[in-house]
Amino acid sequence: MSDTVGRFSAKVADYDRYRPGYPGAAFAAILGPDGFERPHDPGFEDPLVVDVGAGTGQATRWLMHRVRRLIAVEPNADMRASLVANCPGVDVRDTTAEHTGLAAGSVDVVAMFQAFQWCDGAAALAEFARITRPGGRIAVVWNVPDRRDSFTAAYEDLVDRHGDATLAEALPAGAGTAEQFLASPLLVNARKAAFTNKQRLDAEGFRGRIGSVSYLPPPGPALDAILTAGDRIFARFARGDETLCLVYRTVVYVAERR
Classified as helix, coil or strand, 113 is strand
CB within 8 Å of 166: residues ≥ 6 apart: 2
Enclosing H/E stretch for 54 = none
Enclosing H/E stretch for 39 = none
Read off the DSSP letter of residue 177: -
pLDDT in tens, 167-211: 555 677 899 999 999 999 999 999 999 999 999 999 999 999 999
Sorted by where each begins, the domain ranges of the chain are 6-145+171-198+247-257
pLDDT in tens, 149-166: 999 999 999 999 998 765
Partners of residue 144 on adjacent β-strands: 249
| E strands present in the chain | 48-52, 69-73, 91-93, 107-113, 132-145, 187-202, 243-257
pTM: 0.91
Specify the fold of 6-145+171-198+247-257. Rossmann fold (3.40.50)
Contact between residue 254 and residue 187 where contact means Cβ atoms under 8 Å apart:
no
CA distances from 35 to 45, 70, 258 (A): 10, 13, 22
